Amino acid sequence: MVKVKVYITLKSGVLDPQGKAIEHALGAMEIHNVSGMRVGKYMEFYMEEKNPDQGQIEMMCEKLLSNPVIEDYSYETEEVVPS
């Protein structure tokens, strides 16, 4: 069994209003040493195989988990012992 961690980030040219809102809120909290806030998604799931098909993970990321027009994805896998 394998745990898969997927990180979805906005492509660098894409505006991130949620990140801007967080920066604005930080300013209201008198925190001024933070910049470049970007908000993305993190997903984790389990796959039954010990050596899962990387192509399947990439297909899932491209077709379902991310929007490839505006988002990039990366992932890592980690073997786990089923409990």
Q: Is 30 in the site for a copy of itself (CB under 8 A)?
A: no
How far is it, in rounded angstroms, from Cα 55 to Cα 8?
17
Q: Does 51 engage in binding with a copy of itself (CB under 8 A)?
A: no
What is the Cα–Cα distance from 61 to 68, expressed in whole angstroms?
A: 9
Q: Identify the residue among 12, 15, 17, 29 touching a copy of itself (CB under 8 A).
A: 29
Site for a copy of itself (CB under 8 A): which residue of 30, 48, 78, 79? 48
Among 12, 33, 51, 83, binds a copy of itself (CB under 8 A): 33
75 touches a copy of itself (CB under 8 A): no
**38 closest CA partner among 12, 74, 75:** 12
Q: Quick one: how far is CA 34 from the chain centroid? A: 20
